[in-house]
C-alpha cells in the first residue's frame, strides 16, 4: 500500500475488465502509486492486483468521493467506472445517465475542488452513432449517439470540455472499439467474443442479432482490440497529457472491422469446432458498423494495436478453456 503523502493515480472501475488489466499494465510499467476505486458491483475482488490499494466506493456517493480527494493526494485519474451495456441502456436509460453522467460529475467536482486536473476517460466509439458502413470513425466526425449508453458517455465527454474551459482540466478521451482478450467476465455477458467461446465450449447456441444490416454479409461490423492494447493506449494517453498539458480526443482501433459472422468463423477455426448459430431480430441501439481510423492515435500517442484478431480470440479461448466463467 502506498503512503498517504504520495501523489496517487486513481483508477476508477479498476476491478472491472479493462480497468483491472490496466492496473496491472501500469504497475508493470513501473507505476506503484495506484489507488483502485470500485463499488464491486460488476468488478471482481480477485481481479485486482495484489499490491494495488482498493477503495470500495460508489461514484454516485458525492460526499464519499469528495472525502477521498480531500484525504488523499490524487494527481490524476484514469476513469473506467460506469455501466456499459447497450441493450440494457435501451430498457433502463435512467440507470445509465445516473451512473455515467451524475457519477462522473461527482468525480469531476471532487477533482477540480482538490486541485486534480488530469483525467484519461475510457469512452466508446459508439458515441459516433450509426454512420454509413464504409467510413472509418475519425475524431473530426460529429458524435451522434443512438442509445442511452453512448449518449451518457458522450455527455461525460461534453462535461470534460466544460471543465477544461472553466477549471483548466486536462483530459484524454479515448473512444475505444470492442476490447477483448484474456479474462473477460461480465455478468450478464453481452460481448461477442466471450459469448462465442462459451457457446463453443458448452455446446450452446450463438444468436446473431440481425443479418440485414448494410454490411458485406449483413451482420454488424466491429473493430476488436486486445485488452492489453487498450491498457497500453490509456498509459500512453496519461503520459501525453502529463507531458503536454493539453487535452486530446483519440479513437482507438485496428482500422479493420470484422463482422459477427466473420468473427464466429475465425473462432471456429481457432477452436476447431463448429458452433450452432441462429439469426434473430436486430437488437435496439446497435450501429451497423464501427471501425476506427487510428491515424491520430499513431501520430499523437505512438500507439497501434500489437495483437491481431486471431491472437485476441486465441488468448480469450485459452482463458475460457480453464473453466473460469
Ligand X SMILES: NC(=O)c1ccc[n+]([C@@H]2O[C@H](COP(=O)([O-])OP(=O)(O)OC[C@H]3O[C@@H](n4cnc5c(N)ncnc54)[C@H](O)[C@@H]3O)[C@@H](O)[C@H]2O)c1
Strand partners, 259: 221
- Among candidate residues 74, 79, 93, the one with its CA nearest the CA of residue 12: 79
Stretch that binds ligand X, among 10-18, 140-148, 210-218, 264-272 (CB under 6 A): 10-18
**x-marked contacts with ligand X along 120-149 as a string, rule CB under 6 A:** --x-x-------------------------
Kindly state whether residue 16 participates in binding ligand X, applying the rule CB under 6 A: yes
Binding status of residue 58 toward ligand X by CB under 6 A:
yes
- Rounded Cα gap, residues 223 and 137, in angstroms: 10
Q: Which residue number, 244 or 325, has a Cβ lying nearer to ligand X? A: 325
Query: Which x/- pattern, by CB under 6 A, does the window 222-261 give for ligand X?
Result: ----------------------------------------
Helix (H) or strand (E) holding 309: helix 309-321
Strand, coil or helix: 292: strand
Mutual angle of helices 227-244 and 17-28, in 10-degree steps: 60
Question: CB atoms < 10 A from the CB of 75, how many?
Answer: 15
Size of the site for ligand X (CB under 6 A): 28
Q: In the stretch 89-108, what mask flags binding to ligand X with x, by CB under 6 A?
A: ----------x---x-----
Report which of 183, 181, 182, 163 is spatially closest to residue 173, judged by C-alpha positions. Answer: 163
- Does residue 307 contact residue 228 with C-beta atoms inside 8 Å? yes
Which residue stretch of 76-84, 206-214, 256-264, 309-317 sits at the interface with ligand X (rule: CB under 6 A)? 76-84
Cα separation of 60 and 52, whole Å? 23
Measuring CA to CA, which residue among 220, 153, 212 is closest to residue 192?
A: 220
Cell output for 323:
473453466
Q: Which is nearer to ligand X, 22 or 215 (CB)?
A: 22
17 is an interface residue for ligand X by CB under 6 A: yes
Rounded to 5, what percent of the chain is helix, strand, coil? Answer: 40, 20, 40
Neighbour count for residue 140 (Cβ, 10 Å) = 8
Of the residues 23, 36, 78, 84, which one makes contact with ligand X according to CB under 6 A: 84
Q: Which of 149, 180, 240, 258 is catalytic?
A: 149
42 makes contact with ligand X (CB under 6 A)? yes
Site track for ligand X across 158-177, x = CB under 6 A: ------------------x-
Q: Rule CB under 6 A: say whether 178 interacts with ligand X.
A: yes
**Annotation says 149 is catalytic:** yes
Q: How far is the CB of 283 from ligand X (least distance, A)?
A: 15
Binding site for ligand X (CB under 6 A): 13, 15-19, 38-43, 58-60, 80-82, 84, 99, 103, 122, 124, 153, 176, 178-179, 186
Amino acid at each position: 500500500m502506498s503512503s498517504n503523502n504520495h501523489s496517487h493515480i486513481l483508477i476508477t472501475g479498476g476491478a472491472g475488465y479493462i480497468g483491472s488489466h490496466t492496473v496491472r499494465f501500469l504497475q508493470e510499467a513501473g507505476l506503484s502509486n495506484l489507488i483502485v476505486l470500485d463499488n464491486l458491483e460488476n468488478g471482481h475482488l480477485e481481479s485486482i492486483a495484489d499490491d494495488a490499494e482498493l477503495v470500495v466506493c460508489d461514484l454516485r456517493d458525492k460526499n464519499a468521493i469528495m472525502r477521498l480527494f480531500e484525504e488523499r493526494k490524487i494527481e490524476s485519474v484514469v476513469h473506467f467506472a460506469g455501466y456499459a451495456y447497450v441493450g440494457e441502456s435501451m430498457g433502463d436509460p435512467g440507470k445509465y445517465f445516473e451512473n455515467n453522467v451524475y457519477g462522473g460529475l461527482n468525480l469531476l467536482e471532487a477533482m477540480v475542488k482538490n486541485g486534480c486536473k488530469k483525467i484519461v476517460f475510457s469512452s466508446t466509439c459508439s458515441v459516433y452513432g450509426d454512420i454509413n458502413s464504409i467510413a472509418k470513425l475519425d475524431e473530426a466526425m460529429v458524435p451522434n449517439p443512438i442509445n442511452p449508453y453512448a449518449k451518457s458517455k458522450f455527455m461525460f465527454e461534453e462535461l470534460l470540455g466544460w471543465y477544461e474551459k472553466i477549471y483548466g482540466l486536462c483530459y484524454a478521451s479515448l473512444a475505444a472499439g470492442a476490447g477483448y482478450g484474456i479474462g473477460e467476465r461480465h455478468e450478464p455477458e453481452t460481448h461477442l467474443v466471450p459469448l462465442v467461446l462459451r457457446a463453443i465450449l458448452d455446446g450452446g447456441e450463438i444468436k446473431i442479432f440481425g443479418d440485414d444490416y448494410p454490411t458485406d454479409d449483413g451482420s454488424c461490423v466491429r473493430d476488436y482490440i486486445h485488452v492489453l492494447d487498450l491498457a497500453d493506449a490509456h498509459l500512453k494517453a496519461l503520459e501525453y497529457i502529463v507531458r503536454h498539458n493539453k487535452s486530446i480526443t483519440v479513437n482507438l482501433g485496428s482500422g479493420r472491422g470484422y463482422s459477427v459472422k466473420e468473427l464466429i468463423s475465425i473462432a471456429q477455426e481457432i477452436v476447431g469446432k463448429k458452433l450452432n448459430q441462429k439469426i434473430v431480430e436486430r437488437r435496439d441501439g446497435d450501429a451497423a458498423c464501427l471501425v476506427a481510423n487510428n491515424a491520430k492515435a499513431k501520430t499523437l500517442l505512438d500507439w497501434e494495436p500489437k495483437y491481431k484478431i486471431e491472437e485476441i480470440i486465441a488468448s480469450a479461448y485459452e482463458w475460457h478453456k480453464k473453466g473460469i466463467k
